[in-house]
Structure formats: C-alpha cells, structure tokens
Amino acid sequence: MEPDGRMPGRSREPFFHQPRTIRLIEEIAASEHLVIYVGAGVTITESGHSWSSMVKLLFGELGERSEPSAAIAETFDLPKQASIANEYFQRAEPDAASRVVANLLRRALYQEARWRGGDYTAAIGQFCKEKLASGHEVAIVTTNYDQYLENGLRDASSDSATAELVQSRVLPLDHALDEQAVSRLLEEIRGVLPVVHLHGVILPERNAAVAEDIVLDEVDYLRTEAGSSAVLTGMLERNDLLILGSSLEDAPLMRALWKTKAAGHRRWALFPRQNYRGSPGAYGNHPQTYDDLIYAQRRRCELFRVQVVAPDFYSQAPQFVKELAIASECARGGHEDAAYQLSQYGIRLADWWKRWIGDRSNASGKPTVNAQRKDHNELKRALDRIQKTAAVMIGARERLKLELWVRWKPSSHCRGLQLWASSTGTWLDHQTMRNEEIDVDSEFLAVRAFCNGVVELQSGPNGPRDRWKKSLAVPIRVGSESRKFQAGVIVLSTNVQGQGSIIDEHDDERMNTLIRLLTGTGRERLEAG
C-alpha cells in the first residue's frame, strides 16, 4: 500500500461511491436512443479469446504444419501474422480455406474453457431488456465473431416476443456501402434489437446456409474499413453511444467518432484502470501513474467527444452495466430522479453487510465465536459433498481445503477481503484472520478473482512448503437476480496435480460440476438473512 493509503492501480475513492459514477449511471440510463459498441473485452471471459489470441492460435497451426512459425512470430506484428496465416490456409486449402479457419476458431470460441464464465453479456442483456421496456431504442454493434451477445440478450428476455426482437445482422466481407445502403440498413434495424457484426460471424455449430467469412487479415481490414466506418457513422449521427470492452483503437470506430463529433449526441467509453496493469509505464509504479494514464486517455478521448468512465477493476465493468439496468428500471417505475440513489450499489452493499454481520453478531454488534464455528463446520460439510462427487467422477478421494473470503466492512475507506472460514480451520478469532486489500496484484488468488470477476485457477504451490498444488477461486454474487453484486470468493485447493484431481481445467464437465457446487455453497454462506 502506498503512503496515501492506495494500492497501485486503484482510485482514491471506491468507483461506485464516486458522485461522478452515480451521475453517469443515471445519465446513460436515461438515453432514449442508444448504440452499444462491443469489443472483445466483453466476451473474452466466455470465449477465452481476443482477436490477438485467435491470430496466435491460427499462427500456431503453421508450426504444427511444418511452417517456420517461431521466427515469423518474432519478426512480424499481429496484423501481419494474420495475413501470413490466412495466406497459408488459402494456399493449403484453396477450396475450403474459410471453412477450415472457421472450424478452428469455432472450437476455440465455443468449446474451450467455458467454465471460467463471466456475466458481462448477461448484464448487457439485462440493460437492453430494461431499455426496451422503457420504450427506448437500443442497438448493438460489434467486431466480435461469436454469438454470446445474442445469447445474453435472449436469456435476459422474459417473454418470447422480446426474444424475437433480437436479430443478428452481418455485414458482407466485400461491403462497400454507399449512403443509401447505410440508410436501408439503419431503417431495417429500427423496432428490433439488432446485433450488427462488422467483422463477420462464426456460429456455435456449422450452418451451410450462413457464410462464415470473417475479417481477419490486413486485406480484409482494407476491404471493409470504409463500409464499417460508414455504418458506424450513420448510427452515431442519430444516437448516443456507449463503448464497452474496446481498446479505443479500432480505426473505423475512431473515424466515425471524429466524423460525428459535432452531431451533439453523448458518448461514453468504459475503460477499466486494470487495462494498464502490466503496461511499461504503470506496472509496479505509484498509483499517481495510473491516475496520469487515465487522465491522458480522457484528454485523448475528449478530442472525439467521448467521456471515459474508469472503474478500477474488470469485475466492475459488468457491474456498471447492471447498475444501468437498475437505474433504467427505477426510472421506468415513475419514481423521482433520486430513485436510483436509494438503490445504488453502495447502499445495497452496505445493507448486505449490515444484515450478514448482524446474523453473526451478539447484542453489542461483535461477531461471535459460535457464528464463525458454524461457518467453519458448514464448509467442512460442503467439502464432504465435494469429495463424494470427486469419488464418483474420478474414482478416488483427494485431500481438499475450502475457504470463504468475505467482503469485509465495505465502505468508502475500507476495501478488503477477509478470510472468514475454512474447512481446516478451528481458529475462532475473526480479528486475527487474514485481511487483504482488494488489488489486482495481490498474492492471494481469492483477491485476484474478486478483481477479475471470473473463476480463476492457480497451479503450483505458493512456496516450497505449501502442500496445496492447485486452487480454484469462484467469485460469489448475492442479492436478488436483477441486483446481484460480488460479496466474496470461495476457494477450493487440492494437494493433487494433473488429471487425477477433481480440479482439472481440461475437463469442462468436471469443472462445471465443481463450480456449481462451490457457487451454491458460497451463496448459502454469504446470502444475508
């Protein structure tokens, strides 16, 4: 921690407690005509891939097919690597190159490590549902190939009529759209909830009726850049804009922002401070450096009339979108403007803590030994259920440990997780239990999972004397279905490595079963009475 009480990369005041954050939530929620631009950062926790990782995946195929991939990868940047890889497939499979590439990416996007989860697309679906219920117009435009957005929108719809409004629109690879073509497209998507794919689409299952040509290499970008920019320009001339999961570097987007900056519509970009973790100018430096980087990004984006919204952590990005949905719901209910003020994140979090710790405290408000002992014992019982499941799935029992980390005394000046209960614990003094600041560079897996907002896996012991060889951390969200927030993390550790453990990242069925058990246990322990 730095002398001013901050961790590197963390703002002085908690993001959701900042008056500016609350004002922006209400402002965005009130927009009656909104376009949501979605980059790879939104679906990366579900697909496991960004554009760069997909290029590397395809490029790795060259090595397996006797191409000199290592030397090329060290010499050429990603766009050039994409061109080299695509040219190889065109040469090796002249009649089926696009199908081969699509099948490779399909497996990567939909079949690998789906257990990590993430709730970004679900949050967007919830927000769009509330916008439609309010009579507002909303459209989504994305550079992503996958269909996780469509799935999230349909899952959030409570009736089939709303779900039917969700429609994919895919721009053809050779699109050279004139003004009339753009106008026709914009007219077609009015009255529905469109997801416009600028760079093509890859479906979960091959459909011969759908062309899976995608924008992948330099030539593709050159062919489609003008058309993508024209579509975005047409949208931004008429609507407000919310940018999610984007690096704010895509040329068609930046060109459209520049062309329409005088249109008078509002534009916001969600850009977590955690994006700068590991950058040459920020890693390991004073928090002021992160402030300077965000300030520079804000000044840059002001050139395009875009307001940067900068949560501290990745987990706060989908939570911000959930808050937009809640604010929209409050406004739709015909309440005063202050309605969201009574439902905002900070108030819900404080109310949860008051009730949760109240259930475990005596008349003087101090947590009791019996309450902590009960949670220790409940974790032991939950661990027994997990071990029985492991015995069925892998035919053996292994030594496991279960820990519950809790968002402790949340307030504007207290941002930490505390180890409250353990299946191996008999320690009954909460004041001496480990308490860690919430920080992306924490040595503790539970804290890092809380910051990232997704299931995290750590292989290898923390030290030579650590008997736990692998750990799985699952963030736990509490509250009503539409108003959930993270309240802690449950961590399972094993002394077995490899495929002989219930924690096997290569077995999706095993991981999904395990995560369901851990999530259920975590919610039972963290839901307040």
Per-residue pLDDT of the chain (529 residues; tens, 9 = 90+): 544 555 656 888 899 999 999 999 999 999 999 999 999 999 988 888 888 888 888 877 766 655 556 777 778 888 898 898 888 888 888 877 888 888 889 988 887 667 887 899 999 999 999 999 999 999 999 999 999 999 999 988 877 777 888 888 888 776 566 777 888 888 888 888 999 999 999 998 887 767 778 898 999 999 889 889 999 999 999 999 999 999 999 999 999 999 999 999 999 999 999 988 766 555 455 666 778 888 999 999 999 999 999 999 999 999 999 999 999 988 887 654 556 766 789 999 999 999 999 998 988 878 888 888 899 999 999 999 998 888 788 777 788 999 999 999 998 788 999 999 999 876 666 666 789 999 888 899 999 999 999 999 998 765 555 678 899 999 999 998 889 999 999 999 998 877 778 898 888 888 999 999 999 999 999 998 6
Which residue in this structure is represented by tokens 């909830």?
193
Could you tell me which residues are beta bridge partners of residue 494? 400, 470
Q: What is the H or E stretch that residue 221 is in?
A: helix 218-236
277: its two tokens: 């973790």
Phi/psi at 89 (5° precision): -65, -35
Cβ atoms of residues 522 and 474 within 8 Å: yes
Q: Which amino acid is at 28?
A: I
- Of 456, 474, 451, 482, the C-alpha closest to 523 is 474
CA atoms within 13 A on the CB side of 214: 27
pTM of the model: 0.92
